[in-house]
Every structure is written in C-alpha cells, then in structure tokens.
A and B are shown apart, each in its own frame.
Chain A
C-alpha cells in the first residue's frame, strides 16, 4: 500500500479504531476480562471447511476458540479477545486470509441470552461511534435500535427457496441456496438472527435438549452480510471427540491438512466444562458496514 493509499484510507481506519474502543468499553462495563491467547498454536480445531496456514512448527490460529474454552474450564466466567485469525485461501469481497476476530464467552447463559447480549453490544457500539442508531450501507438504511428479526434456518429455506432444509441438504444445495437465495434477504433494515441449524451443521454447538435434530447455533446478518456465529457451547467431551473425528474424516476426503489432536483442550473439557455460550464476530465486516465499504479491501491496508 502506497503512502497515497494510506492517506486515503485514514477516515475508514478511524472508524475501525473507534469501533474497537467502543467494543472494549462495552465489554469492560459488563465485567468481562480481555485476554490474549497465542496466535501461533499447535492444534487448531479441525473444522470441515476451514484450513489453517502452517507457521513455524504449528499453525496460525483459525480462531481462538479452543484456548478460550480451556480458560472457561479453568473458571474464567466472562472473557473476550480481539485479534487476528488466519484462514488459508479465503480471499473475496468479504474475506481476507488474515482478519480481525472478536470472540467472547460467558458461563451460565445459552445462545438466546447471548443473542440479547450481542444485539446490545452492536447497538451500543454503533451509537458510541456514530451518535445514532441508524447507518446507511450501500443505499440501505439500517436501524440498529429496532428489535431484531429472528428466523429459524428451516423456515428460511422454506420461505426464500421453497425447498425444505432437509431437501437442500440431500441435493447438496445447502450452501449455494444459503448464499444465492437466503443471505441476501437477511438483515434488511435491522439485525437478523438466523438460528437453529441442522444437527449436521452444529460445529461446536450443543444440540437442543428436546430436539436432537437441531443445534443451538445462530448467525447474525446485517444487509445480507454475515457478521457473527454463536453457540450454546457443547460441553460433553465424548460428543466433542466424535464431532472432531467426523470433521477430520471430511477434511481428509477434501485433501485438507491433518492437525494434531487438541489433547490439552480435551483434558480441560474432561475435568468439567461449565455451561456457557460463545460468539465470534468479524470486526472487519462491521467496519465495512459502518464505513459504507462495499469491499473488505476498502478497510484493510494491504502492505506489500
């Protein structure tokens, strides 16, 4: 990035800096402790379609999830972290292989209470920065103070694709329909929480106690853009091992790299993990919204 380009990007980077200050103030006022876990780790969580970047003898973290959960197991009740994460090959108008993640965990709450918390976090951060709850993004107005839309994944498929989510899964169209037909309809004028994912897309979320077909997971959307992913966290180490084994199998089929088993994480979990909920939010995407940037490149100084 040239000196000229850096000068031009300054107003957008001021929005980024302001947002980060506002986010920290929000967490600090709610009694959260900021933590910093290592960026260079040995054993990333094996997720089906997220690939790590090798560095030194290990990997750059794809997320701080396992390390922060170890802290939760050790009795840290409210923690948050802001920092870089890395994902191989992800480069597009809303993706960079290096991006800034805001991740937090709180014990004794579930994904619904986390939804309320996240709504407040974003609403208050936007207000702290803009002195208004309204923003304009690519000629759409969003009012962050409006009660959010909450929609189940199954209903979203039915409503926006005319297909059942089970059918979409069977024909391997879950992701393409999500991107082409559902996401553009979410977060119009206010926040949308898309919740209750099918169990086979639970990732690290626990299944509903009264319906094992559905996972307690939601994603937050604004203006069709995915901002955050959250779970009532899975606390059962046996089920967690089974999920990782399945993810490893899929990874292997797709030629993804094999990670070492996250034994320290499992050891912590086996001693007992408190009920908790956690969320990961892409800071760059929120900065895009607040700076009316159509492409993530507008807010990321790419140094050569």
Chain B
C-alpha cells in the first residue's frame, strides 16, 4: 500500500482493480486543515482520465506491474510471440491488442512489455525502425520539400505519408510510437 505522502507525478497506483498513472500532482492544505494531495490521473488500460483528492490518512493500493524486456520472435495465427530476454519464456500477445504495432514488429528486436497482474497492457517497440518503400508514385526530382506528402506502402502493406521526393525502394525510418514517417535513410 502507498500512503498519501508517497503520491507524486509519475507514480502508478491501483483503484478498483485498474492501474492508473498520476499525470499531475499538487500538495495543498486549506487554512488550518489537513494536508491534501490533489491528483490528476490516467487509466493505464482505457486511457480515461480523472481527478482525485487524497487526505493524509488515505491508503492507496499498489498495482502489480512489471516491466520486462522481450524479443519479438514470430507470428502465430492471431497472435504474436515474444520471448523473455532473460528466461526465454514465451508470451503470446494478440493481434487485436497490438493494433498497428503489428506492422512495425521486426524479428529479434528488443521490446519493453508492461505487465499488469501478469497480463500485457503495453508494448513499446524500438522507437525507430527502418523499412523499405514497396510502392509509391514516382518522386518529383529535385523537390526536397518535406511539408508536401503523398501516400506510400511499406513491404507489409502499411500505408504512411511520405515527402514527395521518396521513391519506391528507398529505405525510410518510421517512428513506432506514432506510426509516422521520420526520415529517409538511403535512396534506392
């Protein structure tokens, strides 16, 4: 259990069985009254936010959270298999849960998996990955503007917006947090 004086920005707590992260925190104290701890927090599963004020006597549950380093191994039907970097223990994470991250999985890349009560609630891939452009309209020669974009597909069919000068066969860097084009690595 945490006591109210442990509360601070970034602390992860449990309320009604859900993990929450404190996104904003302030100590306050009304005239001659008790210390109060005002928190803004975000549900780590649903992303919902709420405000809650704790009194100094309040106790707060500690969530069972564990961050593990895992290598992505291989796809298996509706699942993707990761293996623990230390124990090699395998974990299957569903396609549905991973969402568009499935397009950025690279075999043997090291990922951070956040577990709540033993179940994955967040997977962080390497921030940047490199992919080859499989299909896009030919680039306009000499046009180096980066603010004008066009659609392009990478090898697994994922579509991103790229600058006009990118050509099929170019290698580009993609930010896995947003799924957006970051920069060109090399020309075809």
Within 8 A of B (CB), among A148-165: none
How close is B48's CB to chain A, nearest CB, in angstroms?
19
B53 pairs with A49, CB closer than 8 A: no
Within 8 A of A (CB), among B54-96: 55-57
Tally of chain B residues near chain A (CB < 8 A): 17
Give CA–CA (A182, B35) in the complex, Å.
Answer: 16
In addition to A49-B32, A94-B28, 4 A-B residue pairs with Cβ atoms within 8 Å of each other are: A90-B35, A175-B30, A175-B33, A178-B30
Give CA–CA (A172, B55) in the complex, Å.
Answer: 10
Q: Say whether B29 faces chain A, with CB atoms less than 8 Å apart.
A: yes
As a 0/1 sequence over residues 21 to 45 of chain B, the CB contacts with chain A under 8 angstroms (1 = contact) are: 0000011111111111010000000
10 nearest A-B pairs in the assembled complex, by CB-CB distance: A92-B27, A175-B33, A178-B30, A219-B31, A92-B26, A49-B34, A93-B26, A203-B32, A176-B53, A229-B31
Give CA–CA (A145, B35) in the complex, Å.
Answer: 33
A179 pairs with B53, CB closer than 8 A: yes
Chain A residues, CB < 8 A from B29: 49, 90, 92, 95
Q: Say whether A117 faces chain B, with CB atoms less than 8 Å apart.
A: no
Known contacts: A203-B32, A229-B32. The answer to whether A175 contacts B5 by CB under 8 A is: no
- Write the chain A residue with the least CB distance to B33: A175
- Write the chain B residue with the least CB distance to A95: B27
B53 pairs with A48, CB closer than 8 A: no
B55 pairs with A176, CB closer than 8 A: yes
Within 8 A of B (CB), among A131-178: 172, 174-176, 178
How close is A115's CB to chain B, nearest CB, in angstroms?
15
Q: Say whether A226 faces chain B, with CB atoms less than 8 Å apart.
A: yes
Give CA–CA (A89, B34) in the complex, Å.
Answer: 12
How close is A95's CB to chain B, nearest CB, in angstroms?
6
What are 25 A-B interface contacts by the 8 Å CB criterion?
Answer: A49-B29, A49-B32, A49-B33, A49-B35, A89-B5, A89-B35, A90-B29, A92-B26, A93-B26, A93-B28, A94-B28, A95-B29, A172-B55, A175-B34, A176-B36, A176-B53, A178-B30, A179-B38, A180-B38, A180-B53, A201-B33, A226-B31, A229-B31, A229-B32, A254-B56
Give CA–CA (A93, B40) in the complex, Å.
Answer: 14
Q: Which of A48, A95, A183 contacts B32 (CB 8 A)?
A: A48
Within 8 A of B (CB), among A38-52: 47-50
A95 pairs with B34, CB closer than 8 A: no
- Write the chain B residue with the least CB distance to A87: B29
Chain A residues, CB < 8 A from B36: 175-176, 179
B28 pairs with A179, CB closer than 8 A: yes
Chain B residues, CB < 8 A from A219: 31
Chain B residues, CB < 8 A from A203: 32
Give CA–CA (A50, B56) in the complex, Å.
Answer: 13
Q: Which of A91, A175, A201 contacts B55 (CB 8 A)?
A: A175
Q: Which of A93, A172, A226 contacts B30 (CB 8 A)?
A: A226
How close is B86's CB to chain A, nearest CB, in angstroms?
39
As a 0/1 sequence over residues 69 to 108 of chain A, the CB contacts with chain B under 8 angstroms (1 = contact) are: 0000000000000000000011111110000000000000
Give CA–CA (A48, B57) in the complex, Å.
Answer: 14
Give CA–CA (A34, B36) in the complex, Å.
Answer: 34
Give CA–CA (A93, B26) in the complex, Å.
Answer: 6
Chain A residues, CB < 8 A from B5: 89
Chain B residues, CB < 8 A from A49: 29, 32-35
